[in-house]
Amino acid sequence: MAATQEGEHRRDGDLDDWSPGTYDARLRDLDGLLSSLEGLGALPPDAEGDRLLLTDTLEAQRFKLAGLGVYSHNPMVWLSLATSGVHELIRRDDLAAAPRRAAAASRAAQVPRLLGQARATLDGISLPHRDVALQRIAGAVALFGQLLPRFAPRAAEAGEAAAAACKEFASWLEQRQGPSPGWRLGDQRFGQALRLGLGVPMTAEQVWDRGWAVLPELQANAEEAAAKLLGGSQRLEGGELVRAGLEVVAADRPSRESLVSDAAAVLPEIVAFLLQTALFPIADPEALRVEELPGFMQGVSAASLFPAPPREPDASHTYYLSPVPDSWDDERATSFLREYNRSALYSIGIHEAFPGHYVQLAHGLRHPRLLRRVLANGAFVEGWAVYVERQLVSAGFGDAALRLTSAKLAMRVVANALLDQGLHVHGWEDALALDLMVARVYQEPAEAAGKLVRGKVTAAQLSTYFVGEQEMLDLRRDAESQPGFSVERFHHDVLAHGSPSFPVLRHDLGL
C-alpha cells in the first residue's frame, strides 16, 4: 500500500501481509533502521535534518505498532488497508488502465485473506474505532461490489468476494463479546504520541496552558467581527453577539446536493486574489481535483487533501469533502450545512487548497531529495494551512462574513487541541467536550458530534493545528527580525524545504 501511494508501482498487485510473525518482524526492522541511523556518525548539515526527520518517522511507526497497538485494537486500520489499496488504483486515471485493472483485481482477491488476518489479530476492540469501521462498511461494499466491476469487469468475481468479506467482517465486529479496551491513552502515552506527532519540544502541559490562555483573546476577536458584520444598531454583547452574527453567516449555506460543487466553485476566486497580491506562491489549479469523499473514508474528517505521490509529482492532487450522509435527518443535515456554510467553504478552500495543503505539498514534492518528498511532519503541514487562512483574511480577502467565520475557526483550532488532551488525559466525558465545542466556540451540534468521534479515534493529530500555527507565528516573528525581511520571500523560503518538523525547518532557514 505504501509503495503505491508513493508512486512505486512494482507492488501494485500485492496487499499487505499480516500473517503470524510479520508483526514482530516489522518491529525488528524498525529497530534495525533506528540503530543504523544512530551509527552513521557526523553528517553534512542537510543530511542531519533528514536523519532527524527519518528518526522521528521510524519512532512514530514503532509507537503505532507497539505503543498504541493499532492492529490489535483498531479495525479501521484493517478496513482502510483493504479499501484504499484498491481505490488508489481506480482513481489514478493518469496511469495506463490495463495494469491498474489487473492490479486492482489482484488486490481485491486478497481482501478476504487480509480481513481474516484482522479477525485473528484484533484482540480487544475499542468501541469508537469499531463504530467508525462499521459505519464505513457500506462504502467498502459499494467499492468492491459496484465501483470495481465498472472499472475492471474481469474483477467482478474478486470484487464480489471482497464485498462478502467486508460484510462478514462487519458481522464479526457486531457479534464480538467481552470487555472493550479503553480508548483513552492516559498521560504517558498521550505525551509520547504528542511528541512524535508534533516534532517540537512543546509538552502536553504547555499546549494545554497556551490553549486556555489564548482563547479569551480569540473570543474578543469574534465579538469584534460579529459587531462589524451586524452593524451598530444591535445591542447584544459577548456570546449572544457572536451567535447573532453566525446566524447571518449560516443562513447562506449550500444544499445537500451542492456542497461539493459549491466548495469547488469558490477556488477560482481565491486563486485570483493570490495572483493579484503575490503574497504566496501558487500551484497549477488544473492539477487539483475536488471530489466527494468515498463512503469507506467517511466518519472522521469532513475535508482532506490527498497529494500526488512523491515519485510522481506531476500527478493530480485530490481535495475531498464529505457529503451529507443520506441517513441523516433534516435537522442533523441542516446543522452540518450551517457549519459548512458558503463563508466556511472559502476558509476550507484556503486551508485545503490555495495556498494551504495543495500548494504546500505540491511545492514539497519538488524537493530534490526523495526523503524530503516522502516524509511529512503533521504539525508543519497543518500549521501552514491554519496560518495561511489567517493571512489571507488579514490581507483583505473576503467580506465581513468571512472575517467572522475566520474568527470562529481560530477558536476551533484551539478547541481541537483542548479536546484532544481533555479526552485522552483529563478524562473528559462527552458532555464536557460538547460544552466546549458548542457553547464556548460556537460549533454546530453536528460538527461537534463528529469532532468528538474524531477525538476518540485519533490521538495528538487534533493538536497539530494549534501547535503548528503557534510555531509558524513564532517562526515568522523570528524571520521578521532579520535584515531585509520580505513576507513574500519568507513564504517562498518556507515552502522550499518539503514538509519538515519545525526544528528542522528552523535549521534550514538559519533561524
pLDDT tens, per residue, the chain with 511 residues: 999 999 999 999 999 999 989 999 999 999 999 999 999 989 998 899 999 999 999 999 999 999 999 999 999 999 999 999 999 999 999 999 999 999 999 999 999 999 999 999 998 899 999 999 999 999 999 999 999 999 999 999 999 999 999 999 999 999 987 677 889 999 999 999 999 999 998 999 999 999 999 999 999 999 999 999 999 767 899 999 999 999 999 999 999 999 999 999 999 999 999 999 999 999 999 999 999 999 999 999 999 999 999 999 999 999 999 999 999 999 999 999 999 999 999 999 999 999 999 999 999 999 999 999 999 999 999 999 999 999 999 999 999 999 999 999 999 999 999 999 999 999 999 999 999 999 999 999 999 999 999 999 999 999 999 999 999 999 999 999 999 999 999 999 999 999 999 999 999 999 9
> Exposed, middle or buried: residue 353 (CB in 10 Å: 0-12, 13-18, 19+)?
buried
Sheet order of strands, 303-306 included: 288-292, 317-321, 303-306
pLDDT at 445 (0 to 100): 97
Q: What is the largest CA-CA distance in the chain?
A: 71
> Exposed, middle or buried: residue 8 (CB in 10 Å: 0-12, 13-18, 19+)?
middle
Measure the CA–CA gap between 276 and 495, rounded to whole angstroms: 20
User: Phi and psi at residue 285, in whole multiples of 5°?
Assistant: -60, -30
pLDDT at 9 (0 to 100): 97
- Classified as helix, coil or strand, 12 is coil
pLDDT at 45 (0 to 100): 84
- Classified as helix, coil or strand, 42 is coil
Cell 502515552 belongs to residue: 189
pLDDT at 160 (0 to 100): 98
Closest among 421, 451, 436, 457 to 186, alpha carbons compared: 421
Measure the CA–CA gap between 220 and 226, rounded to whole angstroms: 10
Measure the CA–CA gap between 159 and 11, rounded to whole angstroms: 19
Cell 518482524 belongs to residue: 25
CB–CB of 34/55 below 8 Å?
yes
Please count the other Cβ atoms lying within 10 Å of the Cβ belonging to residue 481: 8
